[in-house]
Structures are given as structure tokens and as C-alpha cells.
Amino acid sequence: MTANTSDLTWDESSGADAFLAADQSVTSPPRGSPPLTAWGVALCASGTFIAAENAVVVTTILATPSLRAPVFLLLASLGLADLLAGVALVARFLFLFCLEPGDWSELVTSGLLVTSLTASLCSLMGVALDRYLSLSHALTYGSGQSRRRAALLLLLVWLGACTLGAGPAMGWHCLDQHDSCSVAPPLTRTYLSLLCGGFLVVVLATLQLYAGICRVARRHAHAIATQRHFLPAEQPYASKRGRGRGFSRLVVVLSVFVGCWMPFSLWGLLGDASSPPLYTYATLVPAAGSSLLNPLLYSLRNKDIRMVLLHACCPRRQHTHAVHAHPPVDV
């Protein structure tokens, strides 16, 4: 999914971010690779860092037999999706600045980005669902049956993401019909509208799950306070501060989630091929940037994953590594 970068040039001589559309047809002879720009360097560097960061997360989870709870399966899926997003950015850089750009490279990178972003967003919804179920069914969730259900859910997510990602390569593109292009060529307006509509549904469903998490957590806190024969307002300061930190973390997670995914989802529905490419970049960069922030907000906040990484970095140190059955609050 690109904003037709191969048809844009960067006017570095003027020191401004000028986007000039090239007036040429699809059947024109192949063009040579454009000169390397600051945008290309940022594209390669960010893609490499995203891929490396998420590769560490995926390797840590898959290489540790004790990390097999449903939450870790979801985090591995999230890391794999974000890893593919980083690979797609690096591939875009190679196709654009190192090799001769062509229609096939547009289709490959667009399909890979659609697959990775779809799987990443659905995995984030799965993490929210895991949090909700772990709180509302705390005694039974995390069993072998729950792991099988999580694995089945992820299988369906990846099948759906790969099917959507194969759309451009299977002919659902606008390379030969520019009038049907969306704000992110070579995707058609119909294709991107369906994709962004699905993104909005997933975003709203995820927000609803987090609202349910807040309701369940509040019920649990009130029940505990009632059993101890005092009101929540009379709890010790440390307990209040702990709940405050948890609420602050939740606000940060939701703010990043909405800020990364909502702009492009709305722009894909409202914009068209005549819209300025700069607007597409401004909304697509946060969506891709979520792949950079997800490991920090989800995987690396988990105490068990941090303990495994610490043990790998300092094997001679003594670590008390006891993996919890299911730590939803740390995820």
C-alpha cells in the first residue's frame, strides 16, 4: 500500500518537501531508479528497526516453552505482523532506490503491507479480547482449550489477512485504470474503502472491549472492597496509586491505538485519487508507526518476556524466573 511513491519526486534543491506528479502512462518504458533522498533513508532505517525489534519479540516467545499461554500466542502474532510491515518498508526502499521500479514491485509491496497491517490490527483486537476474557473468566481462562481457541482465531486472522493482501496481485488494482485509483495506488477506491471500513469496525470493537475491561475491573474492585468491609474511597494510598498507574497506562495504549489507526481508516474512505499524496503519507505513516510502538506497549511490558530477555542478555546473573499462568494487566 503506497501513495504512488514511484511517481513522486523530492525537490531537495529547494529544501522543501515538494511532491511533483510525473505525467506518464502505465505503458511507458521502465524508468531508472530515482536518486536517494531523505525520505528513502528514513524508509529504510525505520523498516530495518521495526523488523529487528519485532524479530526479537517473536524469537523470544517461540524459543521459550513456558510462554505458551493464549496471550503470548497473540503477542507472537502481533510481532510477526509488525515484522512483515518492517520487511515491506525495506522492500519498498529496495524496489524504489536500488532496483528498477515497476508495476510488479508496487503490487508486491502493497499486498505485503495490506497483509501485515490487517494482521497487526486484528491481533491488537485479539489482545483486547484476551484481556477481557482473562478478567471475566479468571478461573478457567488460560487452559489448554483456551490456547486451542486462540490458535484457531489466529489461523483465521492470518488466512483473512493473506486473502486481502493477495487482492492487488490477483487483479484488484488500478494500474490500467487510473480513474478507479484510491488515495493509495495501486489499490482501487472500492478495495481501499472495504479495507478501511473493516479497519474502523475492528477499531470500534477493540474500544468496546476495553470499555468492557474497565467495567469488569471496577466490579472486581468493588466486590473486593465490599468483602473487606470498607469502601473503595478508603483504600490505602498505595492501592489507589496502583489503580491510577493502570488507568494511565490504559489511556496511553488507547490514545496510541486510536491515533495510529483512525486517521488512515477515515482518509481511505473520504479521499480519492485526486487528493494530495502528502495527506496520504500523513495518515499512513502513523499506521505503519504502530508497528514500531506495539512491542513497547504490549510485548516488552510483560514481566515474563522481560525476564527471558534479561536472562538472555545476562545469563550469569541469577534470575527468579517464574512465568505466571496469565498476566493480563502487564500486556
Structure confidence by residue, pLDDT tens digits, 111-140:
999 999 999 999 999 999 988 988 887 776
Compute and round to an integer the Cα radius of gyration of the chain: 22
Q: How much is the pLDDT for 19?
A: 32
What's the pLDDT score for residue 313?
83
DSSP-derived secondary structure letter, 10: B
Q: Which residue has the cell 480519492?
A: 272
Q: What is the pLDDT of residue 16?
A: 38
- Supply 130's cell numbers: 484476551
Question: What integer pLDDT is reported at residue 113 of this predicted model?
Answer: 92
* Distance from C-alpha of 126 to C-alpha of 149, rounded to nearest angstrom: 11
Ordered by start, the domain boundaries in the chain are 5-9+34-330
For the entire predicted model, the pTM comes to: 0.81
**Which of the residues in the chain have pLDDT under 50?**
4-30, 231, 234-235, 237-238, 321-331
Predicted confidence at residue 318, as pLDDT, reads: 55
Specify burial of residue 147 (Cβ count, 10 A radius: 0-12, 13-18, 19+): middle
pLDDT confidence of residue 293: 93
CATH among 1.20.1070.10, 3.40.50.2300, 1.10.3720.10, 3.50.50.60 for 5-9+34-330: 1.20.1070.10
Q: Which three cell numbers stand for residue 43?
A: 524508509
